[in-house]
Amino acid sequence: MNLFLVLILAYLLGSIPTGLWIGRAFFKTDIREHGSGNLGATNTFRVLGKPAGSITMVIDILKGTAATLLPTLSVFAGSGVPPLVAGLVAVVGHVFPIFAKFRGGKAVATSAGVLLGYHWPVFLLIVLAFLVCLKVFKMVSLASMFGGVVAFVYAVVHFFMTDDWLLLLIITLLAGFVIYRHRSNIQRIKAGTEPKVTWL
């Protein structure tokens, strides 16, 4: 019973459409009708501004962290759900949220939150990689994908040091998911039409 409860709660946590709810509650705006139409933090920054975008990013990260920590709570003792699996389910919820007609974000912030909840050093590494890439190339999409690649490389090295195969598997899935969700951005990057940030 606890197994299904953990998985359902993880999915519901991931399904919280932060940008959509903030836009509706404080700006009377559905961000799906503006910008890229995406519910993630990047489009929230673009449509609603830095404060709303920052709050959305933090909450989207914490969704992944909270879901990853669910199986470690005493109330769910014996559920048998590995924390990383619960985190992965939250990412699925973020991308396909039941509260937003299954039209969600691109999995970046929530995936990072999963890693924060399970293994914080890799979280810090991908944040650093993201910021460096963003500073150099000014493209959030490219920085997001680069962070996924760096996480994968870290997981491979970490695996040979610790045999943590589950971390390697989940990071591989998350990185692949992030890159797949950015396939339209990849085409724009190739065409030289991908939007660039101006504030960094």
Residue 40 belongs to a domain: yes
| pLDDT over threshold 70, residue 200 | no
The residue range of the domain holding 63 is: 2-191
Distance CA 70, CA 50 (A): 30
Alpha helices in the chain (DSSP H): 2-15, 18-27, 41-48, 50-69, 83-95, 108-118, 120-137, 140-162, 165-181, 183-191
| pLDDT over threshold 70, residue 110 | yes
Query: How many domains are contained in the chain?
Result: 1
Residue 150 belongs to a domain: yes
pLDDT recorded at residue 38 = 87
Q: Above pLDDT 70, what percent of the chain?
A: 100
pLDDT recorded at residue 36 = 83
Residue 197 belongs to a domain: no
Residue 200 belongs to a domain: no
pLDDT recorded at residue 87 = 98
Residue 123 belongs to a domain: yes
| Average confidence (pLDDT) over 28-57 | 91
77 — pLDDT class (breaks 50, 70, 90): confident
Residue 141 belongs to a domain: yes
Residue 199 belongs to a domain: no
Residue 104 belongs to a domain: yes
Cα dist from 195 to 55, 110, 130, whole Å: 22, 22, 16
